[in-house]
Structure 1
Amino acid sequence: MKSDPKNCLYCQNNETLKSLMIEVAKLSVSRVFIFKEQTYRGRCLVAYNGHVDDLNLMSDDERNAFMADVANVTRAMQKIFNPAKINYGAYSDTLEHLHFHLIPKYEDGPDFGGVFRMNPKQVYLTDEEYAQMAEALKKEL
Protein backbone atom coordinates (compact mmCIF):
# COMPACT_ATOMS: atom_id res chain seq x y z
CA MET A 1 0.00 0.00 0.00
CA LYS A 2 1.29 3.42 -0.96
CA SER A 3 -1.05 5.75 0.88
CA ASP A 4 -0.58 7.18 4.33
CA PRO A 5 -3.49 6.78 6.79
CA LYS A 6 -2.86 10.41 7.82
CA ASN A 7 -4.05 11.42 4.33
CA CYS A 8 -6.99 8.99 4.13
CA LEU A 9 -10.47 10.45 4.36
CA TYR A 10 -11.84 7.28 5.98
CA CYS A 11 -9.07 7.06 8.57
CA GLN A 12 -9.21 10.79 9.32
CA ASN A 13 -13.01 11.01 9.19
CA ASN A 14 -12.49 14.44 7.68
CA GLU A 15 -14.73 17.13 6.22
CA THR A 16 -14.43 15.73 2.69
CA LEU A 17 -15.88 12.45 3.93
CA LYS A 18 -18.69 14.26 5.74
CA SER A 19 -19.50 16.29 2.63
CA LEU A 20 -19.96 13.06 0.61
CA MET A 21 -21.66 10.71 3.04
CA ILE A 22 -23.38 10.25 6.38
CA GLU A 23 -22.17 7.62 8.83
CA VAL A 24 -25.01 5.34 9.88
CA ALA A 25 -23.50 2.57 11.97
CA LYS A 26 -20.39 0.78 13.10
CA LEU A 27 -20.41 -2.91 12.22
CA SER A 28 -18.09 -5.73 13.31
CA VAL A 29 -15.08 -4.59 11.23
CA SER A 30 -16.41 -1.68 9.21
CA ARG A 31 -18.58 1.42 9.08
CA VAL A 32 -21.65 1.92 6.93
CA PHE A 33 -22.50 5.24 5.30
CA ILE A 34 -25.34 6.67 3.23
CA PHE A 35 -23.91 8.30 0.13
CA LYS A 36 -25.40 11.82 0.02
CA GLU A 37 -25.82 11.79 -3.76
CA GLN A 38 -28.92 9.61 -4.19
CA THR A 39 -29.43 9.18 -7.94
CA TYR A 40 -29.51 5.49 -6.99
CA ARG A 41 -32.08 5.55 -4.18
CA GLY A 42 -30.62 3.88 -1.11
CA ARG A 43 -26.97 4.00 -2.16
CA CYS A 44 -24.64 3.11 0.68
CA LEU A 45 -20.95 2.52 1.26
CA VAL A 46 -19.15 0.14 3.61
CA ALA A 47 -15.58 1.04 4.61
CA TYR A 48 -13.20 -1.35 6.37
CA ASN A 49 -11.95 -0.14 9.76
CA GLY A 50 -8.28 -0.85 9.04
CA HIS A 51 -6.23 1.02 6.48
CA VAL A 52 -5.84 -1.64 3.80
CA ASP A 53 -6.46 -1.22 0.09
CA ASP A 54 -7.21 -4.72 -1.18
CA LEU A 55 -8.97 -7.87 -0.04
CA ASN A 56 -5.89 -9.92 -0.89
CA LEU A 57 -3.89 -8.14 1.84
CA MET A 58 -6.25 -9.34 4.56
CA SER A 59 -6.25 -12.59 6.49
CA ASP A 60 -9.06 -14.98 5.67
CA ASP A 61 -10.79 -14.09 8.95
CA GLU A 62 -10.53 -10.32 8.29
CA ARG A 63 -11.81 -10.70 4.74
CA ASN A 64 -14.68 -12.96 5.79
CA ALA A 65 -15.71 -10.55 8.56
CA PHE A 66 -15.65 -7.60 6.15
CA MET A 67 -17.64 -9.43 3.49
CA ALA A 68 -20.15 -10.50 6.16
CA ASP A 69 -20.61 -6.80 7.02
CA VAL A 70 -21.11 -5.98 3.32
CA ALA A 71 -23.68 -8.77 3.00
CA ASN A 72 -25.52 -7.59 6.12
CA VAL A 73 -25.82 -4.10 4.67
CA THR A 74 -27.07 -5.35 1.31
CA ARG A 75 -29.67 -7.52 3.06
CA ALA A 76 -30.91 -4.44 4.91
CA MET A 77 -30.90 -2.39 1.69
CA GLN A 78 -32.86 -5.10 -0.12
CA LYS A 79 -35.48 -5.15 2.62
CA ILE A 80 -35.81 -1.35 2.85
CA PHE A 81 -35.49 -0.23 -0.78
CA ASN A 82 -36.46 -3.37 -2.71
CA PRO A 83 -34.19 -2.81 -5.72
CA ALA A 84 -34.10 -5.22 -8.65
CA LYS A 85 -30.35 -5.63 -8.09
CA ILE A 86 -27.54 -4.22 -5.97
CA ASN A 87 -24.29 -3.41 -7.76
CA TYR A 88 -20.99 -3.63 -5.87
CA GLY A 89 -18.09 -1.32 -6.65
CA ALA A 90 -14.68 -1.59 -5.01
CA TYR A 91 -12.12 0.85 -6.33
CA SER A 92 -8.88 1.69 -4.58
CA ASP A 93 -6.73 3.11 -7.32
CA THR A 94 -7.08 6.73 -6.22
CA LEU A 95 -8.46 6.35 -2.68
CA GLU A 96 -6.39 3.54 -1.21
CA HIS A 97 -8.71 2.34 1.53
CA LEU A 98 -10.87 -0.76 1.17
CA HIS A 99 -14.50 0.23 0.73
CA PHE A 100 -17.48 -1.04 -1.25
CA HIS A 101 -20.00 1.18 -2.98
CA LEU A 102 -23.39 -0.54 -2.75
CA ILE A 103 -25.67 0.74 -5.49
CA PRO A 104 -29.32 -0.27 -5.66
CA LYS A 105 -30.54 -0.54 -9.25
CA TYR A 106 -34.18 -0.37 -10.27
CA GLU A 107 -35.60 -1.60 -13.58
CA ASP A 108 -37.11 1.82 -14.30
CA GLY A 109 -34.21 3.72 -12.76
CA PRO A 110 -30.98 5.30 -13.98
CA ASP A 111 -28.37 3.09 -15.63
CA PHE A 112 -30.26 -0.18 -15.12
CA GLY A 113 -28.38 -2.84 -17.07
CA GLY A 114 -25.27 -0.66 -17.17
CA VAL A 115 -22.50 0.70 -15.01
CA PHE A 116 -23.41 3.15 -12.27
CA ARG A 117 -21.97 6.67 -12.31
CA MET A 118 -19.73 7.41 -9.35
CA ASN A 119 -21.18 10.80 -8.46
CA PRO A 120 -23.71 12.21 -10.95
CA LYS A 121 -24.44 15.13 -8.57
CA GLN A 122 -28.13 15.14 -9.50
CA VAL A 123 -30.21 13.95 -6.53
CA TYR A 124 -29.87 15.15 -2.94
CA LEU A 125 -32.33 14.62 -0.12
CA THR A 126 -33.52 16.75 2.76
CA ASP A 127 -31.97 16.26 6.19
CA GLU A 128 -35.22 14.62 7.27
CA GLU A 129 -35.10 12.15 4.37
CA TYR A 130 -31.49 11.20 5.18
CA ALA A 131 -32.44 10.77 8.84
CA GLN A 132 -35.36 8.47 7.91
CA MET A 133 -33.11 6.42 5.64
CA ALA A 134 -30.44 6.16 8.36
CA GLU A 135 -32.98 5.11 10.96
CA ALA A 136 -34.40 2.42 8.66
CA LEU A 137 -30.90 1.06 8.01
CA LYS A 138 -29.98 1.06 11.72
CA LYS A 139 -33.16 -0.83 12.51
CA GLU A 140 -32.37 -3.53 9.95
CA LEU A 141 -28.70 -3.84 10.84
Structure 2
Amino acid sequence: MKSDPKQCLYCQSNETLHNLMIEIAQLSVSRVFIFKEQTYHGRCLVAYKDHVDDLNLLNDADRNAFMADVAKVTRAMQKVFNPDKINYGAYADTLEHLHFHLIPKYKGGPDFGGVFQMNPQKVYLSDKEYEEMADSLKKELK
Protein backbone atom coordinates (compact mmCIF):
# COMPACT_ATOMS: atom_id res chain seq x y z
CA MET A 1 0.00 0.00 0.00
CA LYS A 2 1.54 3.29 -1.12
CA SER A 3 -0.83 5.89 0.20
CA ASP A 4 -1.68 6.84 3.75
CA PRO A 5 -5.28 6.19 4.88
CA LYS A 6 -4.99 9.29 7.09
CA GLN A 7 -4.71 11.33 3.88
CA CYS A 8 -7.49 9.45 2.05
CA LEU A 9 -10.72 11.19 1.10
CA TYR A 10 -12.77 8.00 1.44
CA CYS A 11 -11.16 6.75 4.65
CA GLN A 12 -11.44 10.08 6.43
CA SER A 13 -14.97 10.77 5.17
CA ASN A 14 -14.20 14.46 5.51
CA GLU A 15 -15.81 17.71 4.40
CA THR A 16 -14.20 17.47 0.96
CA LEU A 17 -15.89 14.12 0.38
CA HIS A 18 -19.25 15.43 1.59
CA ASN A 19 -18.95 18.46 -0.69
CA LEU A 20 -18.45 16.16 -3.70
CA MET A 21 -20.85 13.29 -3.06
CA ILE A 22 -23.54 11.77 -0.89
CA GLU A 23 -23.15 8.31 0.61
CA ILE A 24 -26.33 6.32 0.02
CA ALA A 25 -25.53 2.69 0.82
CA GLN A 26 -23.08 0.13 2.09
CA LEU A 27 -22.89 -3.13 0.18
CA SER A 28 -20.97 -6.34 0.86
CA VAL A 29 -17.48 -4.81 0.49
CA SER A 30 -18.12 -1.27 -0.67
CA ARG A 31 -19.77 2.09 -0.13
CA VAL A 32 -22.02 3.71 -2.73
CA PHE A 33 -22.13 7.45 -3.41
CA ILE A 34 -24.09 9.80 -5.66
CA PHE A 35 -22.06 12.63 -7.10
CA LYS A 36 -23.50 16.03 -6.30
CA GLU A 37 -22.42 17.29 -9.72
CA GLN A 38 -24.98 15.69 -12.04
CA THR A 39 -24.05 16.69 -15.60
CA TYR A 40 -24.27 12.92 -16.20
CA HIS A 41 -27.67 12.26 -14.66
CA GLY A 42 -27.35 9.45 -12.12
CA ARG A 43 -23.56 9.48 -11.79
CA CYS A 44 -22.42 7.31 -8.90
CA LEU A 45 -19.23 6.02 -7.36
CA VAL A 46 -18.44 2.73 -5.65
CA ALA A 47 -15.50 2.74 -3.22
CA TYR A 48 -13.96 -0.33 -1.61
CA LYS A 49 -14.71 -0.48 2.15
CA ASP A 50 -11.04 -0.62 3.20
CA HIS A 51 -8.02 1.37 2.12
CA VAL A 52 -6.62 -0.58 -0.82
CA ASP A 53 -4.67 1.11 -3.60
CA ASP A 54 -5.52 -1.14 -6.50
CA LEU A 55 -7.86 -3.90 -7.63
CA ASN A 56 -4.92 -6.27 -8.13
CA LEU A 57 -4.10 -6.12 -4.41
CA LEU A 58 -7.35 -7.84 -3.43
CA ASN A 59 -7.57 -11.59 -3.08
CA ASP A 60 -9.88 -13.31 -5.55
CA ALA A 61 -12.87 -13.46 -3.21
CA ASP A 62 -12.70 -9.76 -2.27
CA ARG A 63 -12.10 -8.71 -5.88
CA ASN A 64 -15.10 -10.74 -7.02
CA ALA A 65 -17.24 -9.31 -4.22
CA PHE A 66 -16.21 -5.75 -5.13
CA MET A 67 -16.97 -6.27 -8.80
CA ALA A 68 -20.31 -7.85 -7.85
CA ASP A 69 -21.09 -4.67 -5.88
CA VAL A 70 -20.16 -2.53 -8.91
CA ALA A 71 -22.44 -4.64 -11.11
CA LYS A 72 -25.26 -4.40 -8.56
CA VAL A 73 -25.02 -0.61 -8.58
CA THR A 74 -25.01 -0.40 -12.37
CA ARG A 75 -28.07 -2.67 -12.53
CA ALA A 76 -29.85 -0.30 -10.15
CA MET A 77 -28.70 2.71 -12.18
CA GLN A 78 -30.00 1.09 -15.36
CA LYS A 79 -33.44 0.55 -13.81
CA VAL A 80 -33.68 4.00 -12.22
CA PHE A 81 -32.13 6.22 -14.92
CA ASN A 82 -32.39 4.10 -18.09
CA PRO A 83 -29.16 5.41 -19.69
CA ASP A 84 -28.06 4.28 -23.14
CA LYS A 85 -24.68 3.27 -21.72
CA ILE A 86 -22.86 3.27 -18.41
CA ASN A 87 -19.16 4.12 -18.53
CA TYR A 88 -16.78 2.79 -15.88
CA GLY A 89 -13.78 4.80 -14.73
CA ALA A 90 -11.12 3.61 -12.32
CA TYR A 91 -8.68 6.44 -11.82
CA ALA A 92 -6.34 6.57 -8.87
CA ASP A 93 -3.29 8.55 -9.93
CA THR A 94 -3.56 10.97 -7.05
CA LEU A 95 -6.25 9.42 -4.84
CA GLU A 96 -5.03 5.92 -4.17
CA HIS A 97 -8.14 4.22 -2.87
CA LEU A 98 -9.90 1.62 -4.97
CA HIS A 99 -13.03 3.16 -6.45
CA PHE A 100 -15.04 3.11 -9.68
CA HIS A 101 -16.80 6.07 -11.24
CA LEU A 102 -20.07 4.94 -12.82
CA ILE A 103 -21.17 7.42 -15.45
CA PRO A 104 -24.54 7.08 -17.18
CA LYS A 105 -24.43 8.36 -20.77
CA TYR A 106 -27.39 9.28 -22.92
CA LYS A 107 -27.54 9.62 -26.71
CA GLY A 108 -27.56 13.33 -27.46
CA GLY A 109 -26.37 14.08 -23.92
CA PRO A 110 -23.06 15.46 -22.66
CA ASP A 111 -19.98 13.68 -24.05
CA PHE A 112 -21.89 10.72 -25.52
CA GLY A 113 -19.34 8.82 -27.60
CA GLY A 114 -16.47 10.53 -25.78
CA VAL A 115 -14.72 10.72 -22.44
CA PHE A 116 -16.64 12.18 -19.54
CA GLN A 117 -15.45 15.26 -17.66
CA MET A 118 -14.44 14.48 -14.08
CA ASN A 119 -16.19 17.48 -12.50
CA PRO A 120 -17.67 19.91 -15.02
CA GLN A 121 -19.47 21.86 -12.24
CA LYS A 122 -22.51 22.55 -14.42
CA VAL A 123 -25.50 20.71 -12.95
CA TYR A 124 -26.50 20.57 -9.29
CA LEU A 125 -29.79 19.40 -7.87
CA SER A 126 -31.98 20.39 -4.96
CA ASP A 127 -31.77 18.46 -1.70
CA LYS A 128 -35.15 16.94 -2.52
CA GLU A 129 -33.92 15.74 -5.93
CA TYR A 130 -30.84 14.11 -4.38
CA GLU A 131 -33.05 12.46 -1.78
CA GLU A 132 -35.41 11.11 -4.45
CA MET A 133 -32.46 9.82 -6.48
CA ALA A 134 -30.95 8.14 -3.41
CA ASP A 135 -34.27 6.58 -2.40
CA SER A 136 -34.83 5.17 -5.89
CA LEU A 137 -31.35 3.67 -6.04
CA LYS A 138 -31.56 2.25 -2.50
CA LYS A 139 -34.85 0.56 -3.38
CA GLU A 140 -33.17 -1.18 -6.33
CA LEU A 141 -30.08 -2.10 -4.31
CA LYS A 142 -32.06 -4.16 -1.77
TM-score bin (small chain): over 0.9
Distance 1:108 1:42 in 2: 16
* Aligned twin of 1:57: 57
Distance 2:136 2:45 in 1: 15
The total of aligned residue pairs comes to: 141
> How far does residue 12 in structure 1 lie from its aligned partner after superposition?
0.7
Q: Give CA deviations for 1:10-63 in whole Å, capped at 9, x if unaligned.
A: 001110000000000000000000000000000000000111111111100010
Correspondences of 1:20-59 after superposition (within 5 Å) = 20-59=20-59
* Aligned twin of 1:91: 91
> How far does residue 2 in structure 1 lie from its aligned partner after superposition?
1.8
1:2 aligns with 2:2: yes
Secondary structure of the residue aligned to 2:139 is: helix
Distance 2:131 2:89 in 1: 24
Secondary structure of the residue aligned to 1:63 is: helix
Distance 2:9 2:90 in 1: 16
* Aligned twin of 1:119: 119
1:109 aligns with 2:109: yes
Secondary structure of the residue aligned to 2:34 is: strand
Q: Aligned residues: percent identity?
A: 80
> How far does residue 87 in structure 1 lie from its aligned partner after superposition?
0.2
Gaps of 5+ in 1: none
Letter in 1 for 2:126: T
Question: TM-score, normalised on structure 2?
Answer: 0.98
Gaps of 5+ in 2: none
> How far does residue 72 in structure 1 lie from its aligned partner after superposition?
0.1
Q: Give CA deviations for 1:59-82 in whole Å, capped at 9, x if unaligned.
A: 000100000000000000000000
Secondary structure of the residue aligned to 1:45 is: strand
Question: TM-score, normalised on structure 1?
Answer: 0.99
